[in-house]
Structure 1
Amino acid sequence: MEEYLLKVGDLEPLGSTKRRSPFENEPPIRVYWRAEVEQQAIRKWGSLDRLSEEKQRRELAWRTHQQTLFSVKKVLKDYRRGQRNKPYYTVIEEENLKGSSNVVLTAVGINAINALGKGAAFAVTGSSSLFSETLHSIADTANQVILAVGIHKSAQRANLDHPYGYSNVRHVASLISGVGIFCLGSGVAFFHGFHALYDPAPMGDFLVGYCVLAAALVSESVTLTLATRNILRNSRRQGCSFWQYVRQGRDPSVNVVLLEDLAAVVGVFVAGSSMALSAVTGNMMFDACGSMLIGGLLGTVATFIIVTNSHALVGQSIRQEELERINLRLEEDIMIRGIHDVKGIDMGNGLVRYKAEVDFDGRELTKKYLERQDSDVLTAEAKQLTGDEAVEKFLLRHGEAIVDMMGAEIDRIESDLRKAFPQIRHIDLEIL
């Protein structure tokens, strides 16, 4: 049919025979005699020369169509190039990243100073609890440096290697931080406390330790307050409670700072109480038990951080209420009959990837297309349709225009969704 420009109907009057298919487990194929097919083509086109001319005409039309497509693609390419120069994050997203970065960098400085002070106090007092607190501050400092690197990396733009951006780097950094707390902080502190039970160190002067712990309590409270304020502000913006925001790991970097500093404040009270009990009773067992309690506290915090960030990395859905609002907005569009297989994935940094299979209303689309056409001209064209070729040209022209309109409608729907929900960064709509 391609060689002689024939259609299925042109072959019906010709004789044929059935032959075994050359492909395994396939039904027999129908075979026509070339001479008869050629004669049918001559009857349809007049001669083989006219058939050749028709092929050349169609080849020229195809090349013209390809050139038009090339021009359109070039315009789209220039448009996408211009889009790359636009800011990747909205103003609110930039504020969130900047706020998270300030909290983490402040925590790095304070924890580094606390680690030095607690280490010096441990050298003077020999307290196991102070040793655990020193490890705690060292682990916090190292982990928060990792968090700062993660925040910087997550702000990078999407590229060919990472088309959805680097937002999840923050979850990776927080996961590494949680593992670091569990191994370095919890494990070593618990082991040191257990060892001190059987081989207690001589009791030193705890006054220096009390002073360092008091200073650490003040400084850790500052970073804890900063992290709390940042989470409260962001949770209000996203319409959820403080603990929902923390539990779902919406801002993993600030969550880690919050939990680490909360553990640090509790750890200061545990260390101070253990040292006081040991000083009053003269028994270093209380100090060793304090070290083990701090290790257990760090282990609990680390487990929570690891679990929440693991869920986010696997692909954590956005809140059901938020997903339903997006679905409702999409279903309200006149072009949409229904949506199926909906997914809203939290990409981190407050960004969302939304995917849905869309049942487009072909009648509404056609009605909108007809509204933009001159009905008199369209009617005149339809009346002049005589023969297969005229019908084919008519359908091809208007069919392609309707498909182009569908593309424009999808762009409009995606634009409307982004305006209504600025947190949506990527939208994947599949036509059923």
Structure 2
Amino acid sequence: MYPRTLRTLRLVARDKVRLGCLPVYCLASSSAIHQCEASRSGLSYTRLQQAQQCRRLATADQPPGHDQKQQQQQEQQKATPAALTSTATSRLKEAVIKVMPRKKERPRFDSSQHSLERNFITAVRAMSEFLLKPSDLENLRKTKRRSPFENEPPITVYWRKDVEAKAVEVWGSEEALEEERKKREKEIKRYQQNIFNIKRLLREHRRDQRTSPEPPTIPTTLDTSGKVVWAAVVINGANMVMKLGAWAFTGSHSLFAEALHSLADVTNQLILAYGIHKSKQSADVVHPYGYTTMRYVSSLISGAMIFCVGAGLSIQHGIAGLLEPSEVLPLYWAFYILGGSLITEGGTLLMAVHAIRKGAQHQQMSFMEYVLRGQDPSVNVVLLEDMAAVMGVMVALSCMGLTSCLGSHIPDALGSCLIGGILAAVSGFIIYTNSAALVGKSIPQHRLEKINEELEQDVLIRAIYDVKGIDMGTGLVRYKAEVDFDGRELTKFYLDQQDLEAILKEMQGLKTIEDVEAFMLKHGENIVDSLGEQVDRIETILKKSHPEIRHCDLEIL
């Protein structure tokens, strides 16, 4: 109850007790109610005027026989004045409650309530989800919002409830809209299937009409890793052919192991080349962070191939040579071929070392740290394969030399087993490093601290928490941090862009709670937009200072 109403009731009650006024009757009559509604504009009356108004409303339109009841009640009032006074007071309260207006409550914020009343929707989404045309959106309410993409102008969005109402108006009902959606989904699937069938028919037609082999396509992986890998493919392919020819001529177990090693290297390096090519594809809807990890996938497959094909077959062939000895033939041609192979394998090894040293300098790492962290998995695989190849050639030369000198098959068979062991160790290291990269590993701590230090120097940031810097492969980083923003500095930035005199006049014109709420909602929404603008600014600065950051996620704490 309002304080003014309570004071009025007390004044009227005192007047009735002191002056012996008549009690209140028939407050619910129609004329009294109309007078109550009409008297709500008289809230500025004095106490006496309000009391007189309540008395008039209480005694208006008395029923027949009121005089006799009035005399009886006067007698009862003289007998029990306290009871009658309380009855009159309660009736006066009801009369005043009808006269005085009720206070309208402001709607409160409720986080548990689910609503789409104030949601925005883009034009593309409105046309795809609600099946509207551009002409249907022309007369709808629209507004400009900050673009979620970097360096893009503001986007135009519509109110979701207006779009839903327009869709129901266009299609007649929600059921009809849902049926049309299902119908179009079926049409899209049918269209995609037709496109797939047409492409398949075109491929078959080209295959049938082809009269000459197509020229080989030039690989797009022309960076350092691609050059190293393709050079290794050519050299190892030539070595494989020569080793197979020498094995067929001499029957050496060590030479057969080396031929298998070269075959595994060629196959693995072709897989690496495909991984490098695939990793350069742009991000799409299915893979929003791109295909950079394809290098790790291809390197992991290469490690498994080395273990299964190279190590497994080499060890098996060496054991078979120990158990079933064969006649030792002259190995002169094998020595010449292995000597040439040592030169070519050493050349590709030097190319891989140069590429890794260059990458380590760019990442500000040591050579060993760059290799152990697997920063460039493709070049790492080439480096380790060529290192294993050089060691394998030296082992094969030594074992074949002992076989020639001693005339025994045992050194040659043991050499095959040793080469298999080298390949197994290399494959295990490749599988381990690439598996760790696929699971997700952090960037070095000193690099992470450097990014954090630069982020904390911004005037809007008080502190950062839960920082993560994930290596996405090929030197790219995904950075994430929870940021505690300084609201005072953000407000200063917002006020610097506003006309403070206009805001002051607007504040002076606030008279009711509704005006205050509208004022706060207006500027609160603008401040949130300013916060988004500042987050974009901070992310741009970080990416400019640290080009390796591909994705920067700053979450407001």
Shorter-chain TM-score range: 0.7 to 0.9
SS at match of 1:204: coil
Question: What is residue 244 of structure 2 aligned with on the other side?
Answer: 119
Alignment deviations for residues 228-281 of structure 1 (CA, whole Å, 9 cap, x no partner)? 111101100110001100100000000000000000001100000000001001
Q: What is the correspondence of 1:28-427 to structure 2 with a 5 Å cutoff?
A: 67-69=141-143, 71-72=144-145, 79=152, 98-427=223-552
> Aligned AA for 1:283?
S
What is the identity, as a one-letter code, of the residue corresponding to 2:351? L
TM-score when normalising by structure 2: 0.63
Q: For the pair shown, which has the larger CA radius of gyration, 1 or 2?
A: 2
Mark the CA change 1:407 to 1:222 in structure 2 (over 3 Å): closer, same or farther: same
Q: Contact 2:303–2:428 at 8 Å: present in 1 too?
A: yes
Deviations 1:48-83 (A, max 9, x none): xxxxxxxxxx99xxx99x8444x43789699399xx
CA separation in 2, counterparts of 1:243 and 1:333?
Answer: 35
- CA distances 1:139-194 after superposition (whole Å, capped 9, x unpaired): 00000000000000000000000000000000000000000000100011011111
* C-alpha distance in structure 2 between counterparts of 1:354 and 1:255, whole Å: 25
- For 1:378, what is the secondary structure of its paired residue? helix
In 2: Cα distance, 1:335 partner to 1:168 partner: 35
- Contact in 2 for aligned 1:96/1:234 (Cα 8 Å): no
Residue 96 of structure 1 deviates from its aligned partner by 9.4
Aligned residues: 366
Q: Does the residue aligned with 2:270 lie in a helix, a strand or coil?
A: helix
* 3-state SS in 2 of match to 1:343: strand
Supply the AA of the counterpart residue of 1:239: Q
Match of 1:200, SS? coil
Displacement of 1:44 after TM fit? 6.7
Identity among equivalent positions (%) equals: 51
Partner residue of 2:82?
none
- Separation in 2, partners of 1:139, 1:191: 15
Cα offset, 1:363, TM superposition? 1.2
Consecutive unaligned residues in structure 1, runs of 5 or more: 1-8, 10-38, 46-57, 82-94
Change (3 A) 1:78 1:262: closer
Partner of 2:199: none
Matched AA of 1:266? M
Cα pair 1:135 1:184 within 8 Å, conserved: yes
The CA deviation at 1:372 is: 2.2
Separation in structure 1 between the aligned mates of residue 326 and residue 489 of structure 2, nearest angstrom: 83
Amino acid in structure 1 at the alignment position of 2:441: Q
CA shift at 1:396, angstroms? 1.0
Check conservation: 1:115, 1:138, Cα contact below 8 A: yes
Q: Match for 2:242: what amino acid? A: G
Q: 1:400 to 1:325 in 2, by over 3 A?
A: same
Once residues 171 and 76 of structure 1 are traced to their aligned partners in structure 2, the CA distance between those partners, rounded to angstroms, is 29
Q: C-alpha displacement at 1:389, in angstroms?
A: 1.3
1:102-130 CA distance string (max 9 Å, x none): 10001001111101100011111111100
8 Å Cα contact 1:97-1:151 kept in structure 2: no
Instruction: Provide the C-alpha distance between the structure 2 equivalents of 1:80 and 1:343, rounded to a whole number of angstroms.
Output: 30
Structure 2 CA distance for aligned equivalents of residues 254 and 210 of structure 1: 29
Q: Secondary structure of the residue that 2:145 maps to in structure 1?
A: helix
* 3-state SS, counterpart of residue 79 of structure 1: coil
Q: Answer 1 or 2: higher relative contact order, Cα 8 Å, separation at least 6.
A: 1
Q: 1:275 to 1:243 in 2, by over 3 A?
A: same
Q: Residues 23-53 of structure 1: CA distance to partner in whole angstroms, max 9, x if unpaired?
A: xxxxxxxxxxxxxxxx99x9679xxxxxxxx
Tell me the CA shift for residue 216 of structure 1: 0.5
SS at match of 1:203: coil
Contact 1:119 1:131 in 2 (8 A): yes
Counterpart Cα distance in 2 of 1:157 and 1:192: 45
Cα gap change, 1:75/1:175 in structure 2, threshold over 3 Å: closer, same or farther? closer
In the alignment, residue 397 of structure 1 is paired with which amino acid?
K
Contact 2:374-2:433 at 8 Å conserved across structures: yes
Aligned-residue RMSD, C-alpha:
2.7
CA distance in 2, matches of 1:295, 1:224: 20
8 Å CA contact 1:124, 1:205 repeated in 2:
no
Structure 2 distance, partners of 1:77, 1:273, is: 62
TM-score by length of structure 1 reads: 0.80
Please, which runs of 5 or more residues in structure 2 have no aligned partner?
A: 3-97, 105-116, 119-136, 155-219
Q: Aligned with 1:301: secondary structure?
A: helix
Give, in whole Å, the separation in 2 of the partners of 1:67 and 1:362: 32
Structure 1, residues 296-349: CA drift from partner, whole Å, max 9, x if none?
000000000000000000001111111111111111111111111111111112
Query: Residue 146 of structure 2 contacts residue 153 of structure 2 at CA under 8 Å; is this kept in 1?
Result: no
Which amino acid in structure 1 is aligned with residue 270 of structure 2? V
8 A Cα contact 1:235 1:241, kept in partner: yes
Per mean C-alpha deviation after superposition, the further-off stretch among 377-386 and 128-137 is: 377-386
Classify the secondary structure of the residue corresponding to 2:152: helix
Give the drift of 1:97.
6.5
1:29 maps to what in 2? none
